[in-house]
Structure 1
Amino acid sequence: MKRTLAIIFFLTLFQNTQAQTRARILSRHSTDSLFTPALQQQLEISYPIFRAYQYTDKGGAGYLLLMEKSEINGRDTTVTNLAAICIQQGQSGFKTLWKMKDLLEPEEASIWFWSKYIQLQDLNGDGYIDPYVVYGSRSREEEGEYRRLKILLYNNGSKTAIRAVTGTLDEERSLQYDKSFSTLPAPMQAYFKQLLQRISKETDYILAN
């Protein structure tokens, strides 16, 4: 009975805090109008903005920007570098909360954000959006199965990473959680484990056992 009441309490709390948070994808026009070349220079944004998310929570208004740098070879476009920045908007301007960068490894042909799996929401019911990014790569070899998958979560100013590599053989696959993952609230741990399984199912990404 006590356990049932605790679950009901958490679900009620989660629904209430979700109602206090909002997130949306900005249009290209809104993105360009807000993040002018001058502001991008101020925020040290060096790659084109691929997608911009706007959100509000107990901390106020914030933005998550995803950036991709591409190379064009004939008819082929290859993403070679990724970057993301999470910023908060206040009365005195914009404040960078965190940023990340990654790039192609020698055995990879391309790397890109898997925006389908990025959803900005309050994952543990504390009234704050928990921004995270998901990205992966494609093997340079046409028949190669080497692919890298990475999830980066930022919670209370700390970064937690989940790193996965898949391949043809069992010994080529790996799945690694940062030690800080075990300190995350249980609902957040469950969310990302379920997200991994969803990605595996929908993309034929074979995870290590």
Structure 2
Amino acid sequence: MVTGIQRSRLADQAYELLKERILTRQLLPGQRLSVPAIAQELELSRSPVREAVQRLVQEGLGTERPHSGAVVASADLPALVDLYLVRAELEGLAARLAVESGDDRLVTDLEAIQDGHDQAHADGARSRMIRADVEFHARVLRAAGNPELARMLEPVLQRMLLAMLEAERGWPLQAMAEHREFIAAVRTGDPVAARERMVEHVLRVRSDMEAKLRQERAEPAAPEGAS
């Protein structure tokens, strides 16, 4: 049996294992998420594995293909560019509400998360960097204390994993600096400044994706038969 799989809440543990493989590129975009094969490898029944795979699909890390089942999702840049425009507005609102909430642990928690992000970058641990980035934004959303906003924004935060997986190698340094700028704005207790820093951060990422998309569209198609 694969190390790390316990017998309690098998679906959750299978999900975490598969998600980690996606984040570390052990599972690549387009690779099949075969329930029978995964269940056999993990020595589990198909039911918890099927639940884990469906959760990946629901969160945008997997996608269903007709007649072949689920595969690891690839980044759809045009869709992500549109999504990040929506994300900027939602996260800007979350940032403002988080400061207005008076959450006295917010700055301390964000600094701790960012310290972990910095350490993961120093260690070259890409999956830990991605998880820390997601947790940073999730902590702001929790501080906002608005269930309707959370319902809309949580799926967006999950889908941004694909953008980070496809991002250029320089993205962590920019993100870490912008996170520190956001923490500084939160520390001042200024909800307007916090909103501005968050919106700027998200729109900068969107601008990077737009540039990559323009580059891809400008590149000539490979000649037929080229490797």
- Quickly name the TM-score band, shorter chain normalised: under 0.3
* Greater fraction of residues in helix: 2
**With structure 1 as the length reference, what TM-score do the two structures score?**
0.26
Q: Which has the higher contact order (CA 8 A, sep 6+)?
A: 2
**With structure 2 as the length reference, what TM-score do the two structures score?**
0.24
